[in-house]
Chains A and B, each alone.
Chain A
Amino acid sequence: MADVTRLSAAELADALGARELSSVEATQAHLDRMAAVEPAVHAFLHVNAEDALATARGVDARRAAGEQVHRLAGVPIAVKDVVVTKDMPTTAGSRILEGWIPPYDATLVTRLRQAGLPILGKTNMDEFAMGSSTEHSAYGNTHNPWDLDRIPGGSGGGSAAAVAAFEAPLAIGTDTGGSIRQPAAVTGTVGVKPTYGGVSRYGLIALASSLDQAGPVTRTVLDSALLHELIGGHDPRDSTSIDEPLPGLVDAALRGATGDLTGVRVGVVTELDGEGYQPGVRARFGEALALLEQAGAEIVQVSCPHFEYALGAYYLILPSEASSNLAKFDGMRFGLRVEPADGPVTAERVMAATRGAGFGPEVKRRIILGTYALSAGYYDAYYGSAQKVRTLIQRDFAAAFTHADVLVSPTAPTTAFRLGEKLDDPLAMYLNDVATIPANLAGVPGMSLPSGLSDDGLPVGFQILAPAKADDRLYRVGAALEAMLESVWSGHILDRAPELEVGK
């Protein structure tokens, strides 16, 4: 068989199901690929080779015994290091959690294990998922497989880079303001942020509880649908989990792949285009719209006038919730403990010393911003106002969805920028998420899929947004666009990425 790391998860699953390939072979192939490219990419913080192979052996044995197994059984996966895993260190990219091995599994990890997906390892990320470049990891940068001098996006740069570099066919990401979709856009991969409450948050190290969602990171729309159906659905351990069955996502992807979008109304969000968007990004966006129209979709313009306040609301709500969520990292029960350099060793001073030493600059910046926004006298002006903006943004979405079945925009204003380019300018960094943030504030689902290369030869992402609980629409429209684009390109966009195997 040809290089199995180039197969999509669906193709791999079919090969495993047909017993043309064993899970051990598939898992080992990916471990080999990791060994070859990790020195250049650094997508992983922890490699879980033995356990992954053990899982693969188990699945192979079950298949050999004729047991019914999950379709994705034996397909290896990478998991973002913000998701707790019982037998693997979980650091969330932070020094403060170095070496921490959680005593429990996240619900989505339990579902992966039950379905028999070998977990290859834990992927790099901006510390506590705060960032858009993965440069805020305490454990070094992840490099974009398209250009190793560029960022892989963030916060889930590790998961996106792992999938783009064929180190894993599937990965788990989390998206609080674009951390699945923006890395997908800049690495030429597919990433989906499900409807808030669609995938259990139990076991995700919380950044901003009312915004966080875990979702799939893959190379194809169908793969995302397969993974989304596996990890999604109600979880009684998450009070904000939706207690309803998921819509048929795989079915929607298969239907979309036929390329017929007759009767689908696609709304272009006026406010998410124009100034600040790179010309190559806009050009690819326009071409994608033309393809959708060819497929029978009706393109309409919609206005979401309050989206211009979304970034401000987001950078109040996120730091506020994060300042509280991250209070537990204090050196008392787990993780790093640092004693003050001088003076009495009291619990209070050890907490402050631990947090001073254990958190990186972006985390400190946001905790202090959030603490300030919640502190007495400022709550109404900041957090309270931001929650009202959230209402306005939800209303914008509601109004827009009366005119359109899905909304679309470029995922990010630019292609991948150079490592270090925006590190000293937090506001410029924050602007990367301007198009992805509204979905988190409103709780609606969103997908990014590749729509071509910009003038600089780097991938551009196309974002699709749907109403809450209508995640299936993302898959239908996304699969249709993907099919048409691949027909134009005569292959997958990643076929055009440079060869990485420096070791060979």
Chain B
Amino acid sequence: MSSPTVDLIEYDDAVARFDPVIGIEVHVELGTRTKMFCPAEAVFGEEPNTAVSPVSLGLPGALPVVNGTAVEYAIRIGLALNCSIAETCRFARKNYFYPDVPKNFQTSQYDEPIAFDGYLDVELGDGTIFRVEIERAHMEEDAGKNTHVGGATGRIHGAEYSLVDYNRAGIPLVEIVTRPITGAGARAPEVARAYVQTLRDIFRTLGVSEARMERGNVRADVNLSLRDTPESPLGTRTETKNVNSFRSVERAVRYEVSRQAAILAAGGTITQETRHWHEDTGTTTAGRVKSDAEDYRYFPEPDLVPVAPSRAWVEEIRSGLPEMPVARRNRLQSVWGYADAEMRDVVNAGAIDLIEATVAAGTAPAAARKWWMGELARSAKTDQVELEDLRVTPAQIAELQGLVDSGRLNDKLARQVLEGVLAGEGSPGQVVVARGLEVVSDDGALLAAIDAALAAQPDVVAKVRSGNLGPVGAIIGAVMKATKGQADAGRVRALVVERIGTDG
């Protein structure tokens, strides 16, 4: 597709001139074993159309039955987002024709969501807390997946067709809709990113979804509009669909701010439309124009009965909720004794689980942080992967630190061992053996090297003998060099002092 050139205004200029208002719709696929309305398995990556039932294929005669676990998960999400849980709510049919929607309607919730009127506090990079108000969270089902085949050159071409796989059709989703997010100003992109990231952390904490962005478990639609000042009425918005990484959420907001600002600054008007996000170019392009033609003819789903969670059930779910990420973070910071800035970096790096597991495996919090935020963070950055995707486990880091603590490795050797672990050479213990990296603690070997160094630097020996211990470092340095760094420097020092002393 050719990308048309679009006038943009520099982001800083754009936000100096206009006030951005964002709105975010996040869809999360629930990690239930079965689909929302039928007992077909909810799976990822299976052979096409092998996780389907008459219901998820939309066959004539099939009827939906609600997955009770999905309702419970939706309530967990609602409670974690500080929402009210509906006393009674219903499913509705959203009618539209599309080949990946097998019934040609999506079973969703319309005017009666299961959860509503909540908020989520998100922490920005500098520690600022920003409150995002949640309008609603509702249950619905996912669509199937289309693969477009052929006809790459033209959009309307006889040879082009699509293939549809309904494995994903009917997987339970919860859609979380914010109220318009105002007051973020120039930090709107950062707020958007932090919001989606915080949600992702909550989904994982709640155990309601694996929440893997790269698998599309979590998908964000980002609404954006500009207005002249925070006092002006809301402007016309665009909805950028399927922005599926944290970084993209931030970039998409920035891009739309710049694009809309350019149009408005030139006296133009914004078209209310959906836009597509292009990861490669970091731009959006126009999709469907939202118009009167979009008439979903919602009505209450007559094949399902209302969901009326008893207050007792809601309270039971509430009391079983795990600690939320912010609370956990505060607790761990105090236990670990990290400074605010250190903890913030840990959180931003997505290292909190990894450090917790490393500490649990016996490593001191400071050492655990040093590894994950130092050597490993650099390695992840070099390889452009997430920390958790590195080929090392918290248990291995704990083993490595154990070797250091016991004096079998010094820092320099430990880094080399880690290199081996990351290269897939095995556990730290195995790398030590395979690479022969253990600290030289054989006093005989060391004494030979020390004697050679002493003989080579008689003047230093003399100074030390006279009581000036300062120059002893020169001897130690020579010994370390001679043993290629594999000696324990502390031991060398002790032996040198002993040697010089007994000699005299």
A residues within 8 Å of B by Cβ? Answer: 83-84, 90, 92, 97, 100, 102-104, 106, 201-206, 208-210, 236-240, 320-321, 323-324, 327-330, 332-334, 344-348, 351, 371, 374-376, 379, 383
Q: Is A240 within 8 A of B95, CB to CB?
A: no
Of the listed stretches B184-192, B254-262, B291-299, name the one at the interface; the rest are far from the partner chain.
B291-299
B158 interfacial contact with A, CB 8 Å: yes
Give A236 to B68 CA distance when docked, in angstroms: 13
Contact with A along B316-344 (1 / 0, CB 8 A): 00000000000000000000000000000
Q: Is B302 an interface residue (CB 8 A)?
A: yes
Contact B304 A239 (CB under 8 A): yes
CB contact under 8 A between A102 and B59, given known A324-B299, A327-B105, A376-B292: yes
Q: How many residues of B contact A (CB 8 A)?
A: 32
User: Closest A-chain residue to B295, C-beta based?
Assistant: A376
Interface positions, chain B 232-287, Cβ under 8 Å from A, are none
B60 located at the interface, meaning its Cβ lies under 8 Å from any Cβ of chain A in the complex: yes
Return the contact of A102 from the options B60, B65, B99, B105 (Cβ within 8 A).
B60
Q: What's the Cα separation between A314 and B496 when bound, in Å?
A: 102
* A320 cross-chain contacts in B, Cβ below 8 A: 299
Q: Which residues of B contact A334 (CB under 8 A)?
A: 59-60
Verify B164–A104 contact, CB threshold 8 A.
no
- Residue in B60, B162, B295, B302 whose CB lies within 8 Å of A328: B60
| Bound form: Cα–Cα A102–B97 in Å | 22
Residues of B contacting A321 with CB < 8 Å?
Answer: 299, 302
Chain A residues lying within 8 Å of B59, measured Cβ to Cβ, are 84, 102-104, 328, 333-334
Is B93 interfacial (CB 8 A cutoff)? yes
Residue with the greatest number of chain A CB neighbours at <10 A, chosen from B64, B97, B105, B298:
B97
Asked if A240 meets B305 with Cβ closer than 8 Å, knowing A104-B54, A324-B93, A330-B97, the reply is yes
Query: What string of 1s and 0s marks CB contacts (under 8 Å) between B59-92 and chain A?
Result: 1111111100000000000000000000000000
Residues of chain B within 8 A (CB-CB) of A333 are 57-59, 102
Residues of A near B297 (CB, < 8 A) are 323-324, 371, 374-376, 379
SS class, residues of chain B in contact with chain A? loop
Q: In the bound complex, how far is the Cα of B158 from the Cα of A320, in angstroms?
A: 35
Tell me the nearest residue of chain B to A344, going by C-beta: B156
* In the assembled complex, B503 has its CB within 8 A of some CB on chain A: no
The 8 Å CB contact of B63, one of A201, A208, A379, is: A201
Q: Is the CB of B61 within 8 A of A328?
A: no
Shortest 9 CB-CB contacts between residues of A and residues of B: A327-B104, A374-B297, A209-B302, A210-B302, A203-B61, A205-B60, A84-B61, A376-B295, A328-B58
- The 21 listed contacts between A and B (C-beta, < 8 Å) are A92-B60, A102-B61, A103-B54, A103-B59, A104-B61, A201-B63, A201-B303, A202-B62, A202-B63, A203-B62, A205-B61, A206-B303, A237-B65, A239-B64, A323-B297, A327-B104, A332-B164, A333-B58, A344-B158, A347-B99, A374-B299
Nearest-neighbour CB distance to chain A for B36, whole angstroms, equals: 12
Minimal beta-carbon separation of B432 from chain A (angstroms) = 59
Q: Chain A residues near B102: list those with CB within 8 A.
A: 328, 333
Question: Chain B's nearest CB lies how many Å from the CB of A231?
Answer: 15
Considering only CB atoms, which chain B residue lies closest to A348 in the complex?
Answer: B97
Give the A-B contact count at a CB cut-off of 8 A: 107
Q: In the complex the two chains form, what is the Cα distance from A327 to B58 in whole Å?
A: 10
Within 8 A of A (CB), among B108-152: none
What chain B residues lie within 8 Å of A332 (beta carbons)?
A: 99, 164
Q: Which B residues, 144 to 179, have Cβ-Cβ distances below 8 Å to chain A?
A: 156, 158, 162, 164
Known contacts A330-B97, A345-B158; decide if A240 and B61 are in contact (CB<8 Å).
Answer: no
Q: Are B299 and A327 in contact (CB under 8 A)?
A: no
In the complex, whether B103 has a CB less than 8 A from a CB of chain A is: yes
Quick one: given A104-B54, A204-B61, A238-B63, are A347 and B162 in contact (CB under 8 Å)?
A: yes
Question: CA of A346 to CA of B60 in the docked complex: distance in angstroms?
Answer: 23
CB <8 Å contact, B61 and A206: yes
Q: CB-CB < 8 A to A351: which residues of B? A: 97
Q: How far is the CB of B143 from chain A (nearest CB, A)?
A: 13
Q: Which residues of A contact B63 (CB under 8 A)?
A: 201-202, 206, 237-239
**Residues of A with C-beta under 8 A to B57:** 333
Other A-B pairs beyond A206-B61, A324-B93, 4, CB < 8 Å: A102-B54, A208-B302, A324-B105, A332-B99
CA distance A330 to B95 in the complex (A): 13
- Which residues of chain B have C-beta atoms less than 8 A from A100's C-beta? 60
Residue contact A236 to B65, C-beta cutoff 8 Å: yes
Residues on B with beta carbons closer than 8 Å to the beta carbon of A329: 60
Q: Is the CB of B65 within 8 A of A106?
A: no
A327 to B297, alpha carbons, bound, how many Å?
12
B103, A328: Cβ atoms under 8 Å?
A: yes
Chain B 224-236, CB-CB to A under 8 Å as 1, else 0, gives: 0000000000000
Determine the distance from Cα of A210 to Cα of B305 in the docked complex, in whole angstroms. 11
- Bound: A97/B292 CA distance, A: 32
| Inter-chain contacts of A376 with B (CB < 8 A) | 292, 295, 297
Structural contact, A383 and B299, CB atoms closer than 8 A: yes
Task: Looking at the assembled complex, report how far the CB atom of B212 sits from the nearest CB atom of chain A, in whole angstroms.
Answer: 29
**Residues of A close to B164: CB separation below 8 A:** 332
A239 touches B303 (CB 8 A): yes
Decide if A330 touches B104 in the complex (CB within 8 Å): yes
Chain B neighbourhood of A201, CB < 8 A? 63, 303
- Assembled-state Cα–Cα distance A346/B99 (Å): 11
Q: Which residues of B contact A375 (CB under 8 A)?
A: 295, 297
Rounded to whole angstroms, the CA-CA distance of A203 and B54 in the bound complex is: 9
User: Within the assembled complex, what's the spacing in Å between the Cα atoms of A239 and B67?
Assistant: 11
Shortest CB–CB separation between residue B293 and chain A, in angstroms?
10
Residues on the A chain within 8 Å of B298, using CB: 374, 379
Q: In whole angstroms, how far apart are the Cα atoms of A333 and B304 in the complex?
A: 24
Q: Which A residues are in CB contact (< 8 Å) with B295? A: 375-376
Residues of A within 8 A of B162 (CB): 347
Cα A344 to Cα B157 in complex, Å, equals 8
B95 close to A374 (CB less than 8 A):
yes
**Residues of A contacting B304 in the complex (Cβ-Cβ under 8 angstroms):** 239
Whole-angstrom distance between the alpha carbons of A469 and B162 in the complex?
Answer: 49
The residue on B at minimum CB distance from A205 is B60
With both chains docked as a complex, state the minimum distance between the C-beta of B390 and any C-beta of chain A, in angstroms.
Answer: 44
A97 touches B60 (CB 8 A): yes
Cα A351 to Cα B97 in complex, Å, equals 9
Look across to chain B and name the residue whose beta carbon is closest to the beta carbon of A209: B302
Measured CB to CB, the nearest residue on chain A to B94 is A324
A240: chain B residues within 8 A (beta carbon)? 302-303, 305
Whether the pair A327, B60 counts as a contact (CB closer than 8 A) is: no
User: What chain B residues lie within 8 Å of A371 (beta carbons)?
Assistant: 297
Question: Nearest Cβ distance between residue B380 and chain A, in whole angstroms?
Answer: 43
Give the distance to chain B from A224, nearest Cβ to Cβ, in Å.
23
Docked pose: A206 CA to B64 CA in angstroms: 12
Set of chain A residues within 8 Å of B54, measured between Cβ atoms: 102-104
Q: Which residues of B contact A203 (CB under 8 A)?
A: 61-62
Chain B residue numbers with a CB within 8 Å of A204 are: 61
Residues of A within 8 A of B93 (CB): 324
Q: How far is the CA of A327 from the CA of B105 in the complex (A)?
A: 8
**Nearest CB to that of B55 among chain A residues?**
A237
